[in-house]
Amino acid sequence: MGAFTSDKQAQLSGFLRQLPENVARRLAKAIEVDRLMGGKALPHDLILRGLRPQLRRTASAERMGSPLRYFCLPFEDLLVNEAREEKQKGRIARSSINAVWNWLANDVMPERHSTLCTALTNAVVNGDASAVAIAAGELHREAAAALSEAIVAGRKKAIAALGDALVLEDVIEIALLLGAAEEIAAIQKRLRKPVLNFTEDDVQFLREMFHRLSQDNGDLAPYFGLIVMARLERPWEALRFVVAVSHSSNDAMIANTDIGIVGELLLNDLDSYVRKIQAIRVSDVDADTLLVNLEAFAELSAGVVKELAIRRDGKWGQQLAKGRAAVAKVMESLAARCPREIMAGLPGAKSGVFAKGPRGHEMTQPVDPERIARALRYARVLVQSKPFAAAAAFSAKLGEAIDEAGADLRNYSEDLLRELRQEDPAARAVVEKHFALLLDLYTLILGTEEASFLRRRARIQANG
């Protein structure tokens, strides 16, 4: 079928968005069946993208499984989207999937791959859950064996076929996990994403499975904790499982075990948040990005400390302390800058409690939207970073900056109130716009009660 123009795509998407949810579900299923059966006449991806908003609104909108999706189930919890320069154990690049799948289909097991995919497709289309389970199990077992044999037969040849040595490292883990697909499915069935309440019964179930299976295949041991971690709403709670199987809550001891990889990856995630925070430009802060990463850092660091007895002289303890110090350095520098940037949004104002107030002629200058947006951005950072200050160790400096900004605003407001007496209507209208910004800043930094009091004073002043 010919390519759709952008106008035709927009028209199709608009039409699909208007479909009732029950019709959208039936259409999505029909489109996926057609794609599974090799249909070429319809723009499958375009139609499914157009249906996505309706499908998201209904809980029963599970997509039909394809052979590739079933193939990925045993290792789906280890998939990551981030670009990488080196292989990280326990994390498989999503970009490796197609390379591995095509290698199986074209070189490693072409005939069996075709046969198994056809059987799995037919079972899915027919809605035969038992046949799906049998076909998927055969695909997992045979792919695991075939991949392992291909790697042993020649790593250089495998790398040439896959196009990257890092992909080969992913294949090694994929083969290992495909071989344990049945056991991994039991974990996934027990822990339905996202697990909001990770119970002691869950930990006991997982501990018994871990001890039983790790005796048969020790290479699998590290991956149990990673699968558990990926399925929890609060990933650091996987450390409860780690403590249970290692019989220790001492991070220095756990770090030297295979299952310690859970803590390693959590700390690596913590370091990634640190790097993102360090990349923030203090001179032109992106408040949204900063606050998202700051919250993630604070939540994860507090969670790790809660679950483990972190030692300051231990590897993880030192890494955590280093991360906190790095974040504190950025946030303290930013906090010190905030009062000055906030006051820069107000005409004629200077930062500092003892700074002189605004000059009247400046108060009648037009409002500068960029200065206002910048002032509000720094005010948001100052106030909205407060819940995370303790975990990131910058509470003292932040408190000082909030006090300074509050004192500056109170000092400035006295002069601005006097300017509300302007007799010239045009000048007074401009002053009122500046006052509206001041009220916004008051609300953010000093709270709604003080802002309401200032508003009442302004009404009195303007009418007096």
254: closest CA among 218, 205, 206, 221? 221
Q: Which of 52-56, 206-210, 290-294, 355-359 has the lowest mean pLDDT?
A: 355-359
Q: Quote the tokens at residue 396.
A: 């003292």
Distance from C-alpha of 252 to C-alpha of 309, rounded to nearest angstrom = 9
Res 60: pLDDT:
45
Which pLDDT value is given to residue 59?
46
State the average pLDDT over residues 318-338: 94
User: Would you state the pLDDT for residue 448?
Assistant: 92
**Whole-number Å distance between alpha carbons of 293 and 391:** 13
Judge whether 100 and 171 are in contact, CB under 8 Å: yes
pLDDT at 442 over 70: yes
The answer to whether 275 and 368 have CB atoms below 8 angstroms apart is no
Angle in degrees, 0-180, between the axes of helices 200-216 and 181-190, rounded to the nearest 10: 180
Residues 70 and 278: their CA atoms lie apart, in Å, by 40
pLDDT of residue 213: 80
Q: Residues near 134 by Cβ (< 8 Å), separated by ≥ 6?
A: 123
The CA distance from 198 to 188, in Å, is 13
Identify the band that residue 35 occupies on the pLDDT scale cut at 50, 70 and 90.
low
Answer yes or no: are the C-beta atoms of 246 and 254 closer than 8 Å.
Answer: yes
What are the sequence ranges of the domains in the chain? 6-56, 67-182, 192-324, 339-463
Question: pLDDT (tens digit, 9 = 90+) per residue, 182-203?
Answer: 999 999 999 998 999 999 999 9
Instruction: Name the band, by pLDDT with cuts 50, 70 and 90, for residue 95.
Output: very high
- Expressed in percent and rounded to 5, the helix, strand and coil fractions of the chain are 75, 0, 25
Would you list the DSSP string of 251-314?
HHHHTTSGGGHHHHHHHHHHHHHHHHHHTS-GGG--HHHHHHHHHHHHHHHHHHHHHSB--TTS
What are the C-alpha distances in Å from 364 to residues 46, 100, 355, 373, 461? 54, 67, 20, 19, 17
Mean pLDDT of the chain, nearest integer? 85
